[in-house]
Amino acid sequence: MKNSKILLLILIVMFVFLIGPFIVIIISSFSSQTVMRFPPEGFSLRWYDKVLNIEMFRTTFWMSLKTGLAATFTALVLGVPVAYTNVKYRYPGKNALELFFSSPAIVPGLVVGFALLRFFIYVSGIPILLGLYLGHTAILFPYTVRVVSASLRNFDAGIEEAAVSLGSSPLHAFFAVVLPNIQSGLIAAFILAFITSFNNVPVSLFLTGPGVATLPIQMLVYMEYYFDPTISALSSIIIVITVIIVQSAEKVLGISKYM
Amino acid sequence: MSFIQLTNIDAGYVRGKPVLKNFHLNVEQGELVSLLGPSGCGKTTTLRTIAGFIMAEKGKVVIGGKDYTGVPPNKRNIGLVFQNYALFPHLSVYENVAYGLKRRKVPKELIPGKIKDVLNLVSLIGYENRLPAQLSGGQRQRVALARSIVIEPDLLLLDEPLSNLDAKLRDEMRAELSRLQHQLGITMIYVTHDQIEALSLSSRIIVMNEGTIEQMGTPQDIYERPETPFVARFIGFDNHLKGKMIRNSEEGIRVAVGDTEILSTRKSGRSSELQIGDAVEVFFRPDDTEILDKKLPNTVEAHIDYANYQGNTTQYSLSVEGTAIRAIVAGRQVPYNAEKVWISIPADKLIIEEDRGH
């Protein structure tokens, strides 16, 4: 009995620790004052109004959205065959390769960003936009591989063999039988990867440049100059959108089992 | 020439060693052959080699006169039924059954008729639009059967198809499989570890152990005349005693177990090859025994460790010179507290095998 009370206390403390900052941000975004303060004084929606009217935010939002969608899509297209191979076949050096594929998720983002900067921009001299897209693809790849692998492991290999024994080539069986049955895994991978890309700072920091910035980078830049609650309002919008996407995906598809 | 011929097969490598080594198998057209054995004995590897999911490293696979060695599984005309059914979860019963027909480019106008016929055969008319998740285990296995026989395969392979069903359904499906086999006359290879399934379904049983065939024969052959200690044990000759060969005559084989002499009048495959003085094992079934309170011919002295009265039968755990013996006898034949008893085994229920040091 006593134990469970202590556990409950720990749970509440953790909850406050995790959720608290979000609540502070959301509440402070409704402040009517021009300086961030908690608890806020007054109530207004002026910062929301301001967010929508700052052009930098609008252009960088679209940049983040486009980068995120393109990189996620690419990482999925590359990640599915890799996950499929790794789940289905055994080969020498498989563990080492799996570790290598997941390295961008283990190595600190700043290091990855710097490495990509050296490689893409200095050595290859490719356009910044392309570098940003490729860099995001690289960091999303481990996520798509991992989530798709999890859903493939839940899929009975016998089903694929049944399709082959009925006359499908292995490739046809993959598209006709495997893909339709790992749909929710694919969607889970897409959402996780997209959110990862959309929120990424360390890698984007190195791979953005004149005229090319993502929303989180723009938010950082803005915060260096202004202390008003605009960023709180913008963050609140992002939080709400993220929660809605993840919750509805969980309700409809039960994606949490793949993450 | 046999319908299925596996010749000199090496297949299914596990840690650098082939599961099947120099393996031979012949199956005649229209037979239902069971591959019976414990897990890891190579029965599933054999099945998968025939299906083409395992490519033999060595040897030849010939089915119906066609050389299938190196032919991928989707180009072999073989139906497969899996233990866990392996239905396509996103397709309806109708679409599951239609899958193979479409892949085989069967003319569109013929497909509905064929599906109706086969669903009728497995009593699933009216379930066409259900998804696999909306069916019971037995119904799923019927769909799996329908899906694999609608393509009119040369051969049907079944990998423990009944082991996920409960006892009652298993009996039903067993009868159903038997009926289908007789009705269609299709050659079937049936993998199982359940001896009752193998005995009741097969025209021939192949008992496998460690990648080799221990014995093949009719269900009666296997059940009555196991040829190796492994088969004897696997098929229910749970009791074995070590002994020494004394005499091999017209009357039968005489063996010394401890100080006692025992006679076996039962011919088993290799008993005639035994020499006097050879170490042998004596096998008998728990339900072929009687427990007596006095010494008679063909009895060994034992002592009761435990007796469990179950009404029409009593189960005894006994020991004979340190070897545990199980006996199931009708009623209660001796008092529980009997100090000394004798196990009687009829001479025609005893099997003598060479002791291979197991």
Chain B positions in Cβ-Cβ contact with residue A90 (cut-off 8 Å): none
Q: Look at residue A166 in the predicted model and tell me its pLDDT.
A: 94
Chain B interface, best mutation among A160, A165, A182, by max B CB count within 10 A: A165
In this structure, are B224 and B169 located in the same domain?
yes
- pLDDT at residue B252, rounded to an integer: 82
> What pLDDT is stored for residue B271 in this prediction?
66
A26 and A92, same domain (yes or no)? no
Domain boundary among B198, B229, B260: B229
- Point out the domain boundary residue: B199, B229, B259: B229
Q: Cis peptide before A81, with omega less than 30 degrees from 0?
A: no
Contacts (Cβ under 8 Å, ≥6 apart) of B224: none
Look at residue B346 and tell me whether its pLDDT is greater than 80: yes
B73 and A159 within 8 Å at the Cβ level: the answer is no
**CATH, residue B256:** 2.40.50.140
Instruction: Assess whether pLDDT exceeds 80 at residue B88.
Output: yes
Do residue A11 and residue A90 come from a single domain? Answer: no
* pLDDT tens string A18-45: 988 888 888 888 888 887 777 777 888 8
Chain A residues lying within 8 Å of B148, measured CB to CB: 165-166
Which residue type sits at A185?
Answer: G
**Counting one residue from A and one from B, how many pairs have CB atoms under 8 Å apart?**
59
Helix (H/G/I), strand (E/B), else coil: B248: strand
B234 domain residue, yes or no: no
- Whether A1 shows a pLDDT value over 70: the answer reads no
Assess whether pLDDT exceeds 90 at residue B110. yes
Q: Which amino acid is at B244?
A: K
**Span B214-220, average pLDDT:** 92
Residue B338's pLDDT band, with cuts at 50, 70 and 90, is confident
Give B-chain residues touching A159 at CB under 8 angstroms. 86-89
Residue A77 structure tokens: 């297209």
- Indicate if B38 and B89 belong to the same structural domain: yes
3-class DSSP state for residue B181?
A: helix
Picking from B229, B251, B273, the residue at the C-terminal end of a domain is B229
β-partners of residue B155 are: B78, B187
Q: Do residue B54 and residue B202 come from a single domain?
A: yes
Over the stretch A168-219, which tens digit does the pLDDT of each residue have?
999 999 999 999 999 989 999 999 999 999 998 888 888 887 778 899 998 9
For residue A160, being part of any structural domain is answered with yes
CATH, residue A130? 1.10.3720.10
Instruction: Provide the number of structural domains found in chain B.
Output: 2
Supply the range of the domain harboring residue B304. Answer: 239-354
The single-letter DSSP state of residue A209 is: B
**In terms of domains, do B113 and B252 share one?**
no
In a domain, A240, yes or no: yes
Residues B283 and B214 grouped into a single domain: no
A11 within a domain of the structure (yes/no): yes
Task: Pull the structure tokens for residue A113.
Answer: 């960003």
Q: Of B105, B102, B157, B147, which is closest to residue B127 (Cα–Cα)?
A: B147
Q: What is the pLDDT of residue B70?
A: 87
Beta bridge partners of B205: B34, B217
Over residues A102-124, the mean pLDDT reads 80
Q: What percentage of chain B reaches a pLDDT higher than 70?
A: 96
The pLDDT of residue B336: 66
What's the maximum distance between 2 C-alpha atoms anywhere in chain A?
Answer: 71
**pLDDT at residue A130 tops 60:** yes
CB of B133 within 8 Å of a chain A CB? The answer is no
Clarify whether residues A207 and A247 are in a common domain.
yes
Query: Which residue did the predictor score with more confidence, A256 or B312?
Result: B312
- How far apart are the CA of B28 and the nearest CA of chain A, in angstroms? 22
Assess whether B223 and B269 both reside in one domain: no
A212 and A161 within one domain: yes
Looking at the fold, whether A76 and A123 belong to one and the same domain comes out as yes
pLDDT higher at B67 or B336: B67
Mean pLDDT of A105-127: 81
User: Number of structural domains, chain A?
Assistant: 2
Give the DSSP letter string of B89-101: TTS-HHHHHHHHH
Q: Is residue B40 very low, low, confident or very high in pLDDT (cuts 50, 70, 90)?
A: confident
| Interface mutation target, options B54, B77, B80, chain A, most CBs of A under 10 Å | B80
Q: What is the pLDDT of residues A54-110, one digit of tens each?
A: 888 999 999 999 999 999 999 999 999 999 998 888 888 888 888 887 777 778 888
Please tell me whether residues B221 and B350 are part of one structural domain. Answer: no
Judge whether residue B358 has pLDDT over 60: no
Question: Above 80 in pLDDT, residue B223?
Answer: yes
Same domain, A3 and A40: yes
The reply to whether A158 and A217 lie within a common domain is yes
Q: Is B214's pLDDT higher than 60?
A: yes
Q: How confident is the model at residue B167 (pLDDT cuts 50, 70, 90)?
A: confident
Residue A49 falls inside a structural domain:
no
pLDDT digits (tens, 9 = 90+) for A141-162: 999 998 999 899 989 989 999 9
Q: Are residues B38 and B119 in the same domain?
A: yes
Task: Average the pLDDT over A124-138 and give the result.
Answer: 87
Let me know whether A5 and A133 are in one domain: no
Q: What is the mean pLDDT of residues B211-238?
A: 89
Three-state DSSP state, B212:
strand
User: B91 versus A21: which is more confidently predicted?
Assistant: B91
Residue B291: C-alpha distances to residues A22, B101, B208, B272 (Å): 80, 61, 34, 29
Phi/psi at A182 (5° precision): -115, 15
Report the percent of chain B where pLDDT is more than 90.
Answer: 37
Q: Is the pLDDT of residue B122 over 70?
A: yes
In CATH, what number is assigned to the domain containing residue B223?
3.40.50.300
- Which amino acid is it at B233? R
In a domain? residue A150: yes
- Rounded to a whole number of angstroms, the distance from the CA of A187 to the nearest CA of chain B is 16
| pLDDT above 60: residue B9 | yes
Do the domain assignments include residue A50?
no
Is residue A167 assigned to a domain? yes
**Do A186 and A70 share a structural domain?**
yes
Task: Tell me the C-alpha distance between A222 and B327, whole Å.
Answer: 87
A69 with A153, same domain: the answer is yes
Question: Do A187 and A163 reside in the same domain of the chain?
Answer: yes
User: What average pLDDT does the segment B50-60 reach?
Assistant: 90
Residue A158: its chain B contacts at CB < 8 A?
Answer: 82-84, 86
Looking at the structure, tell me whether residues A181 and A96 fall in a common domain. Answer: yes
What residues of B are in contact with residue A165 (Cβ under 8 Å)? 51, 73-74, 76, 78-80, 148
Residue B170 has pLDDT above 90, yes or no: no
Would residue A187 count as lying in a domain?
Answer: yes
Whether B212 and B82 share a structural domain: yes
Looking at the fold, whether B132 and B257 belong to one and the same domain comes out as no
B166 and B249 both lie in a single domain = no
In a domain, B45, yes or no: yes
Q: How far is A156 from chain B (nearest CA, A)?
A: 7
User: Which residues form the domain of A225?
Assistant: 55-258
| Residue A68 or B275, more confident | A68
Minimum-distance CB partner of B82 among A158, A166, A173: A158
pLDDT at residue number A70: 97
Residues B149, B272 share a domain: no
